[in-house]
C-alpha cells in the first residue's frame, strides 16, 4: 500500500478538479469527501473514482459553478434540480441547509434530482450527528441490482446511511448498499485483478459470476446480469428485504424530486449516471433531552462492544466503529491507497500539470 498525508492528498485532488475547471470551493469539498472515504478504508468510494469524474467533467456531464434550480419549498423542506452539478459539493451544501432548517424547526429534509455521484452517504449523516441530530442520507444509482427471481437489473446499489450521536464523540454510523456490494467494490476487485467472491452477482444467464471485468462490461452495455439484493439469492436468505429497501430508496430520492429511477438510471462508458439524493436531519430534542439520548446511545454501543466474540474473532464492532478507527490511524500513518489507484492519480496529475505529493510505501 501507499500512504499519503491526508492534507497532501486533499490538495492534490482539489488541484486536479481545479485544473479541470471546477471552482476552488467545490473542488475542495469534492476532494475532502473522496479522501474521507479512503481514510476510513472505503476504497470503493474514494479517490480511485477521480478518473471517472475527470471523464464526466470533460464530457460536460459533471459541471462546476452550477446554481441548482429550486423546484419546491416548505418551511421544513426543499427540492432541487442539480442540473448536472458536482454531487459531492452540492450534497455537502444541501446538508448544511437541511441542518439549519432542523435547527430552527426540529426537522429538515431535501431531495435532489439530476445530480451526480456524492461519495459516501455516511459523510452527510455524520454532519448531522455532530450537531446533536439524527442524520439520514440516500442516493439512487445506475441500475445494477436484480430483483428477487428476476434476470434484469431494475434498481441501483441505492445506499442508505443513518447516524446518531453518543457521548464523547461516539457515534452509530450505518452506511450500507441495498445490494450485496456496491459497483465501486466490484471496481476494486477489477483494479486489483481479483475474482469476485461467490454469492455477490449474477451474469447474463442469471447464474452466479465471479468475473468482475465481464460483469462490469455486461451491465454497462445492458446485456443482463447484476448484483444480488442484500440478503442474496431468492427468499430463504432474505433477499427480498434488500430488494424492498432498494425500491424504497428510489421512492425517497427520485419520486420525491421528480427524477429518474429504476432501469432508466444508466452509467455511460466514461462516467457515472445522473442520480437523485435524499437528505434529512432531526434534532434530538424533538424526542428527549439530547444528553439523555446520547448517554443511552453510548450505553447501547458499549453493550455491543462488550459482548464476548466467537472463537477466532478478536472483538465485536458496531456500525461506523471500524471506519472511525481507520480514520484515526490514517491521521498517523497517512491515507492508504493501492498502487493502482496511486498510479492513476499520478497519471492524471501529469496530464493536467499538477504536482504530486510524496508517499510512503509499505509492504
**CA dist., res. 277 & res. 138, Å (int):** 6
pLDDT tier at 206, thresholds 50, 70, 90: confident
For strand 133-139 and strand 160-165, is the pairing parallel, antiparallel, or unpaired? antiparallel
Residue 263 falls within a domain, yes or no? yes
**Which letter does DSSP use for residue 144 in this model?**
-
- pLDDT at res. 328: 97
- pLDDT at res. 223: 86
Burial tier of 152 (Cβ tally within 10 Å: 0-12, 13-18, 19+)? middle
Q: Partners of 69 in the beta sheet?
A: 81
- pLDDT at res. 87: 96
Predicted confidence (pLDDT) at residue 361 exceeds the cutoff of 80: no
- Rounded to the nearest 5 percent, the helix, strand and coil shares of the chain are 45, 20, 35
Structure confidence by residue, pLDDT tens digits, 310-329 = 999 999 999 999 999 999 99
Structure confidence by residue, pLDDT tens digits, 109-167 = 999 999 999 999 999 999 999 999 999 999 999 999 999 888 789 999 999 999 999 99
pLDDT tier at 224, thresholds 50, 70, 90: confident
pLDDT tier at 225, thresholds 50, 70, 90: confident
Residue 317 falls within a domain, yes or no? no
**CA dist., res. 122 & res. 37, Å (int):** 9
Residue 298 falls within a domain, yes or no? no
- pLDDT at res. 198: 87
What would the mean pLDDT of 98-111 be, rounded to a whole number? Answer: 98
Residue 307 falls within a domain, yes or no? no
Residue 308 falls within a domain, yes or no? no
Alpha-carbon dihedral 292, 296, 299, 301, rounded to 10 degrees: -120
Q: What percent of the chain has pLDDT over 70?
A: 99
- pLDDT at res. 51: 92
Q: Between 151 and 37, where is the model more confident?
A: 37
State the DSSP H helix or E strand holding residue 216, giving kind and residue range, or none if neither. Answer: helix 212-220
Inter-residue contact 83 to 114 (CB < 8 Å) = yes
pLDDT tier at 103, thresholds 50, 70, 90: very high
Domain region containing 240: 2-288+323-361
How many separate domains does the chain show? 1
Predicted confidence (pLDDT) at residue 363 exceeds the cutoff of 70: no
Residue 294 falls within a domain, yes or no? no
Residue 293 falls within a domain, yes or no? no
Instruction: Write down the residue that cell numbers 467533467 correspond to.
Output: 57
Structure confidence by residue, pLDDT tens digits, 107-124 = 999 999 999 999 999 999
**CA dist., res. 198 & res. 37, Å (int):** 25
pLDDT tier at 66, thresholds 50, 70, 90: very high
**CA dist., res. 101 & res. 173, Å (int):** 22
Q: What is the CATH number of the domain that holds 137?
A: 3.30.1370.60
Q: Can you give the C-alpha Rg of the chain in angstroms?
A: 20
Q: Within 10 A of 3 (CB to CB), how many other CB atoms are there?
A: 18
Average pLDDT of every residue of the chain = 94
Amino acid at each position: 500500500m501507499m500512504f499519503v498525508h491526508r492534507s497532501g492528498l486533499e490538495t492534490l485532488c482539489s488541484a486536479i478538479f481545479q485544473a479541470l475547471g471546477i471552482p476552488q470551493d467545490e473542488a475542495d469539498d469534492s476532494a475532502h469527501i473522496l479522501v474521507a472515504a479512503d481514510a476510513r478504508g472505503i476504497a470503493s468510494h474514494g479517490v480511485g473514482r477521480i478518473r471517472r469524474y475527470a471523464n464526466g467533467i470533460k464530457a460536460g456531464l459533471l459541471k462546476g459553478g452550477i446554481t441548482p434550480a429550486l423546484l419546491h419549498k416548505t418551511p421544513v423542506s426543499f427540492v432541487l434540480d442539480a442540473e448536472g452539478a458536482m454531487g459531492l459539493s452540492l450534497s455537502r451544501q444541501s446538508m448544511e441547509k437541511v441542518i439549519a432548517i432542523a435547527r430552527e424547526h426540529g426537522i429538515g429534509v431535501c431531495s435532489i434530482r439530476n445530480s451526480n455521484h456524492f461519495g459516501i452517504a455516511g459523510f452527510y449523516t455524520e454532519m448531522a450527528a455532530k450537531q446533536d441530530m439524527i442524520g439520514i442520507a440516500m442516493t439512487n444509482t445506475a441500475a445494477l441490482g436484480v430483483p428477487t427471481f428476476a434476470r434484469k437489473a431494475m434498481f441501483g446499489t441505492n445506499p442508505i446511511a443513518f447516524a446518531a450521536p453518543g457521548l464523547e464523540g461516539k457515534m452509530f454510523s450505518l452506511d450500507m448498499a441495498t445490494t450485496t456490494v456496491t459497483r465501486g467494490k466490484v471496481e476494486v476487485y477489477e483494479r486489483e485483478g481479483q475474482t469476485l467472491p461467490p454469492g455477490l452477482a449474477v451474469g447474463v444467464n442469471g447464474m452466479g459470476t465471479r468475473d468482475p471485468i465481464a460483469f462490469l462490461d455486461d451491465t454497462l452495455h445492458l446485456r443482463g446480469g447484476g448484483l444480488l439484493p442484500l440478503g442474496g439469492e431468492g427468499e430463504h436468505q432474505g433477499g427480498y428485504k434488500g430488494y424492498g429497501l432498494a425500491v424504497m430508496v428510489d421512492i425517497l430520492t427520485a419520486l420525491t424530486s421528480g427524477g429518474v429511477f429504476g432501469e432508466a438510471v444508466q452509467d455511460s462508458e466514461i462516467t457515472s449516471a445522473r442520480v437523485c439524493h435524499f437528505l434529512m436531519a432531526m434534532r434530538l430534542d424533538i424526542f428527549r433531552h439530547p444528553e439523555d439520548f446520547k448517554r443511552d446511545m453510548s450505553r447501547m454501543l458499549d453493550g455491543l462492544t462488550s459482548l464476548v466474540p466467537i472463537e477466532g474473532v478478536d472483538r465485536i464492532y458496531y456500525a461506523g466503529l471500524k471506519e472511525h478507527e481507520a480514520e484515526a490511524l490514517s491521521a498517523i500513518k497517512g491515507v492508504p491507497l493501492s498502487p493502482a489507484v496511486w498510479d492513476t492519480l499520478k497519471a492524471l496529475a501529469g496530464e493536467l500539470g499538477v504536482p504530486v505529493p510524496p508517499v510512503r510505501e509499505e509492504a
